Amino acid sequence: MHKLIWTTVFALSVAAGPTSAADDVFLGQGMMVGEVTTDSALIQTRLTVSDHLDGDGDLAGAGGVALVEYADNPAFDNATESKTATTTADHDFIARWQVDGLRPGTKYHYRIRFGITSPSQIGPTGTFHTLAGQTSDAMVRFVVGSCMNYCKFMYGKPAKASGPITATDEDKQLGYRSFAAMPSFAPEFFVGTGDIVYYDNPVRNAKSRSQMRKCWHEQFRFPRMIDFLAQTPAYWSKDDHDFRFDDADRRDRQRNPSPSKGIRIFREQMPIVAQADETTATYRTHRISRHLQLWFTEGRDYRSLNEMEDGPEKTLWGTEQREWLMRTLAESDATWKILVTPTPMVGPDDKRKTDNHTNLGGFRHEADAFFQWIQQNQISGFLTICGDRHWQYHSIHPSGIEEFACGALNDENSRRGVSPGAKNGTDPQGLIRQPFTYDEPSGGFLAIEADKHLKIQFVNDHGEVLHSVIKQAKEPKPVVGFTKIPR
């Protein structure tokens, strides 16, 4: 009920502005906050000509002006006001502000003021918490999701839905059920591990810039997503489908969209870096609390070609990113060191692929060498969380490193997984242990709680907990320097 009320308030607050045709402008995709730190955040919105899709299934942008107000109280007493941004077609009518000088561990309220010629309309109020930082012992709660396939959700079998087709007419108006279920876990933030949109599907293939942008417009106009993201900041990564197409690498002549276009559009649409920043790397780490640090890797921009023979020279991460990852892991004293990777490192996965770190003939050498490095350097509390695979699982590599896959966000994009020992998989000898995978395909997400203990819950898209894992911290061993990754 709360969500339906909020959506109604959203519509009314926008409509309460000037009604003349010259001043009709909307926040048709709501607003969102990204890359929250202890003292900063990115706040984003997009001005639109309507609050619903047009006859072409798009949500056209609107030229106008906007600013953001934020304060540590809902009355906006002593609020801070950003500079006014002008929305233009060059940036798909998106306005993004970098907000600095915030206080750690603080709840902030924010709202967008906007209009065609002056910021005379006031949008709804959203909230976000800044990170408490490495001195805080407080419990941290967050949720992780991936692989939200719009075409399968909306069209089912014609879009080659792989899982149960359960989206109702109401769901197709409101959006994915997972976003309605997530708030019950009281997350401080959301992690989107890639495949946020799908450019490739039998229903349609997005190749041009306008077609690619349309995928983002149709996805982020859903009321359930608008409601959730207005109140929950997020950290985003891209994978293959929101880069180019299934298992895409950087071969420029492979097919459209081109690698450079895929990189640019993702940076344009997602609040990961400052607007128009084309140079800052999208791999990064955030120290969330005393007990938790997260790493987000970039799996598409620096990789070797998939068809290259696997070996010491083949890399999914690129040398610079890999060395950064090892250095920052070795420097961390967090109890839990979680690598959020768009693609799996443990699996098992399908034998036919050469796209990721689990695949035979893919990037297995780099993964095995990295896991060996983790052991040699006694990196305590390390585990991986991955997207990409459309089924939920908890797997344990022969080295002891654990991986938790969040699965697909919606039922229609889910599938049965590949088991250890399967002949059609990447672990035909059955060396991987798998304490959990679901019995029936389902959309869903991971809900995680972290303090000196770590609780990871596998949740379906109705909010039902399917399985839980509770991990106890081990006494970390001091690391004095660290070795290079084995070659």
Percentage of residues of the chain with pLDDT beyond 90: 91
Peptide linkage before 348 cis (omega within 30 of 0): yes
pLDDT, tens digit, 9 for 90 and up, residues 307-355: 999 999 999 999 999 999 999 999 999 999 999 999 999 999 999 999 9
Read off the tokens for 368.
Answer: 């095995």
> How far is it, in rounded angstroms, from Cα 113 to Cα 20?
17
pLDDT, tens digit, 9 for 90 and up, residues 20-58: 234 689 999 999 999 999 999 999 999 999 999 999 999
> How far is it, in rounded angstroms, from Cα 485 to Cα 487?
6
Nearest to 114 by CA among 53, 59, 51, 72: 51
pLDDT averaged over every residue in the chain: 94
Read off the tokens for 412.
Answer: 């229609």
Greatest Cα pair distance, the chain, in angstroms, is 69
Helix or strand holding residue 33 (H, E):
strand 31-34
Q: What phi and psi values does residue 253 have, to the nearest 5 degrees?
A: -95, 10
Q: What is the pLDDT along the chain (487 residues), one digit of tens a residue?
A: 333 333 333 333 333 332 223 468 999 999 999 999 999 999 999 999 999 999 999 999 999 999 999 999 999 999 999 999 999 999 999 999 999 999 999 999 999 999 999 999 999 999 999 999 999 999 999 999 999 999 999 999 999 999 999 999 999 999 999 999 999 999 999 999 999 999 999 999 999 999 999 999 999 999 999 999 999 999 999 999 999 999 999 998 779 999 999 999 999 999 999 999 999 999 999 999 999 999 999 999 999 999 999 999 999 999 999 999 999 999 999 999 999 999 999 999 999 999 999 999 999 999 999 999 999 999 999 999 999 999 999 999 999 999 999 999 999 999 999 999 999 999 999 999 999 999 999 999 999 999 999 999 999 999 999 999 999 987 655 444 545 555 4
Q: Which structural domains are found in the chain, ordered by start?
A: 2-129 (2.60.40.380), 140-472 (3.60.21.70)
pLDDT given at position 483: 55
Q: How many CB atoms lie within 10 A of CB 158?
A: 12
